[in-house]
A and B are shown apart, each in its own frame.
Chain A
Amino acid sequence: MAEPIKDKVAIVGMGCTKFGERWDADIQDMIAEATYEALDDAGVPLKDIEAAWLGAQWGSQIVEGGVVTGTLLSSALQTQYIPVTRVENACGTGAESLRGATFALASKAYDLVMVVGVEKCKDMGFGGLPSVWIGRWEPVYGAFGTGPGRYAMAATAYFAKYGLSNEDGKRMLAEISVKSHYYGAKNPKAHLRREVTVEQVMNAPIISWPLGLFDCCGVTDGASAAILCRAEDANKYRKDYVTIKAFGMAASPGWGKERDDYDFTYWDATQAAARSAYAEAGIKDPRKELDVVELHDCFTIAEVIASESMFICDEGKFKEQMTDKRAYYHDGEMPVNTSGGLKSFGHPIGASGCREVYEIYKQIQGKVEEPSRQIKDARMGLAHNQGGHPGKFVCGCTIVGAP
């Protein structure tokens, strides 16, 4: 008989590198940097770690078709023959890595394990992401279907469905970018640390109409790490640990963009993952019960749609319920991406899911690096992490909270 995972596993240490264009560090340097911070945070030596999960989409993509195995971690840290599972679920890799480690602990295969997410994006020689994965299965049908190209279709569709003029729609998205940059500026580890204005965002060069430069997340290097144990052991390591409340995981059947009744204004995998996570965590009204949400805002429109699809905001009401009320600021009704989000903190693919949990962990502990963005009395948060493109996502909703 299956049992819920709620409160069975604790996070007792976390680390995160400085995100950004890390010309100074290679992928293994960043794995080490994030791991050492997490080990220090937990107060455990590396040799006590019994197993590791390494999340990376390409790792360090310098040539096409790079191979990543667990040895990327074991050789960086000189771990001695512990198992290292390499995990990949595109941009949704992080949530999946944490889930694997959590279930291994719950099964009592190990007592103390580690998760590392990492991506080295800036050794390739161009802005944007490599297109090797685009059309990996359909090289002709899938050609040129880039991330910005596919997410922007959702923005066009959202504007059309809710009768927003291009001007009003772009303004709504610009407000989100302004918020992300506001928090990025308040986060020493964030990639993009400069505040921007609505006018700057709206007048920026177009990347993929209707999305402009400031509607798109940066291309970022970085790594994040977590040390986990079963909840009953957590007190050995620290008092202010957090526990896993739920994992909602869903892979969509992938019909979205091809099915004539899909209108691109909701993420079906997010709806499914959020529903199952709320059920497991016992959450009835997420907007009231969640104190902080870190969601997958690779583009500003993704923040709109993810918010609506995880039910912290009603469908089509983002502007009224989030933007106009400033509800999504750290002192608002429903704080979202107080880290700066993928948008400003950065989005090193394999690192992002774990990095979102890092922000929630720090918020619950009351220990965010810059106190001016500290949420008061945060006890429960949701990290939303997805890979793929509109209509074809794998999504993970990880809920963590005070025990």
Chain B
Amino acid sequence: MAGIVSYGAYIPMYRLSRAILGQVWGGGGKGEKAIANWDEDSITLGVEAGMDCLQGQDRQSVDALFFASTTSPFREKQSASIVAAALDLREDIVASDFGNSLRAGTLALRSALDAVKAGSAKNVLVIVSDCRLPAPNSAFEPLFGDAATALLIGKDNIAAEIEASYYMSSEFIDIWRLEGDILPRTWEERFVLDEGYEPHMTKAFKALFKTREASAKDFAKAAFYAPNARSHATVAKNAGLDAKTQVQDPMFDSVGITGATAAILTLIAVLEEAQAGDKVLLGNYGDGADAHIISVTPAVENLRHKRGVKGHLNSKVMLENYGKYVKFRNLMTFEETPMTRPRTSLPAMWRDRNWQYRCHGHKCQSCGKVQFPFQRRCMYCQAGPESLMEVPLAEKKGYLATYSMDERAAIVDPPNVLAAVNFNDGGRIFSQMTDRDVNTIKVGMPMELTFRKIHDALGVHNYSWKCRPVRV
């Protein structure tokens, strides 16, 4: 038996209302969607979900990390390795990227289950993360949202067992990006839905039912991907599910359609409310379809402390206007500044990887003081390097010691908030503050750490840790 040992989710703080899109392009629409901050991408969203999932779990027991996304920030170069480092996983793990398909997440899930069942890994962390950029003024623009999930797959302490799965592959083409495309391409909607999504998803459910002699009425809830609300309802009906009682809200009007993340994000919303013994139907679509029967165990109660979907859903800030979104996603050509450009150094980042990525600090064995970043001698008692021991700091909570708000810094969303955060149990991190409401920043406010993009410099995405007001 293999299944979900832990879960985590992440929904970015910013929401863009469809009313704002209506003001810009005409038309209307209700609801909103989640938008990654300017310093977020699929890697950083994935790290957040991973931190939520691993909280209270033993990181040392994770033998593999599968990162699934259609929007990996690098065209060549793995995301999984960066996510694994930021999550402070062991070096001797299998880290793999799963990409190119909206089903990347459930395909990674299958590989994780296979590895656990075969015994090649005790626990596999499956992270699904997507930040799909819709074309401005396209049908996709009001729909696409950004989010990430994480599932820890293993054999022990299973909160939800993956009882049965059905996978099918299909060469059907409905949405794609070519090499070099930033925006998705698609075909006529009638073809895409009538010949693609609806029959494929329905077929996967029915085939799964058949293999297990199951029927729709066996399920407490169904969580499945759909490209829009109407097709979602159509498939639910085709599968024989009761729309009122059995179909989990896919969050189209609160988070948006989150690409590869969507199906598992909806599943996590189910698990947050699920009781032991519940059976859950999971469905995913893209280059074919898959369907799963998941049965909830009493251990699900141990996961109630996760921020998950519920925790992040109501923790939000509405984006004031479309202009901010355009800047976040760099959708226009902006005035160039003659100010000198940001720099990076790959050798420096490599040397500093244990603090830049892993958020390790030093603890002095002589005086006990924690310090970040790494020191050559203790900055408190000047003890030599033999006294400095690496300690993980990423999960520490603290309070704001002081800050400033630089309106003139060349960042995407000024002001640049510089902050000194003191950890509650000693030590300090000096960093930029992100996900902040500039009107509510106060010395003393509770803070936490988040893995973010610092800048794109010399053609490289450069990541490290920032602080933010405690999110939930």
A-side interface residues toward B, CB under 8 Å?
Answer: 64, 124-128, 130-132, 135, 137-141, 143-146, 148-157, 160, 205-211, 253, 255, 257-260, 263-264
Contacts and interface: CB of A to CB of B under 8 A. Distances in A.
Given A140-B462, A144-B411, A260 B404 contact: no
Interface in B322-368: 337-340, 342-345, 348-349, 352, 356
Given A146-B408, A258-B372, A141 B401 contact: no
Contact of B408 (A128, A135, A141): A128
B427 A209 contact: no
Contacts of A160: 402, 443-444
Contact of B427 (A149, A151, A260): A260
B406 A149 contact: yes
A153 B428 contact: no
A210 to B, nearest CB: 8
Contacts of B462: 139-140, 143
Nearest to B430: A257
Contacts of B402: 153-154, 156-157, 160, 263-264
Contact of A139 (B411, B443, B457): B457
A188 to B, nearest CB: 30
Contacts of A257: 420, 430
Given A148-B406, A208-B405, A64 B418 contact: no
A209 B433 CA distance: 14
Nearest to B338: A125
Given A153-B404, A155-B404, A208-B407, A259 B339 contact: no
B379 interface: yes
A382 to B, nearest CB: 28
A155 B463 CA distance: 29
B231 interface: no
B379 A208 contact: no
Contacts of B403: 153, 156
A232 to B, nearest CB: 43
A149 B401 contact: no
24 contacts: A64-B340, A127-B408, A130-B340, A131-B410, A132-B340, A132-B343, A135-B343, A138-B348, A139-B342, A139-B344, A139-B462, A140-B344, A140-B464, A141-B356, A144-B409, A152-B404, A153-B404, A155-B404, A157-B401, A160-B443, A208-B405, A255-B371, A260-B401, A264-B401
B459 to A, nearest CB: 13
Given A139-B348, A264-B402, A124 B338 contact: yes
Interface of B: 337-340, 342-345, 348-349, 352, 356, 369, 371-373, 379-380, 401-411, 415-416, 418, 420, 422-423, 426-430, 432, 443-444, 454-455, 457, 462-464
Nearest to A130: B340
Given A141-B464, A153-B420, A156-B443, A255 B379 contact: yes
Given A257-B430, A263-B401, A153 B418 contact: yes
Nearest to A212: B407
B404 A144 contact: no
Shortest beta-carbon contacts, A-B, top 3 = A152-B404, A209-B405, A149-B406
A259 B407 contact: no
A260 B423 contact: yes
Contacts of A141: 352, 356, 373, 464
B407 A206 contact: yes
A112 to B, nearest CB: 40
Nearest to B453: A140
Nearest to A125: B338
Contacts of B464: 140-141
A255 B454 CA distance: 22
A367 B426 CA distance: 54
Central interface residue in B369, B430, B432, by most chain A CB within 10 Å? B430
Central interface residue in A64, A125, A131, A154, by most chain B CB within 10 Å? A131
Given A141-B464, A209-B404, A149 B409 contact: yes
Contact of B349 (A126, A140, A146, A205): A140
B366 to A, nearest CB: 15
Nearest to A156: B402
Contacts of B426: 260
A126 B408 CA distance: 11
Contacts of B343: 132, 135, 139
Contacts of B416: 144, 146, 149
B430 A209 contact: no
Given A131-B339, A131-B340, A141-B352, A259 B371 contact: yes
B303 to A, nearest CB: 33
Contacts of A140: 344, 348-349, 356, 454-455, 462-464
B408 A264 contact: no
Contact of A253 (B372, B379, B454): B379
Contacts of B405: 152, 206, 208-209
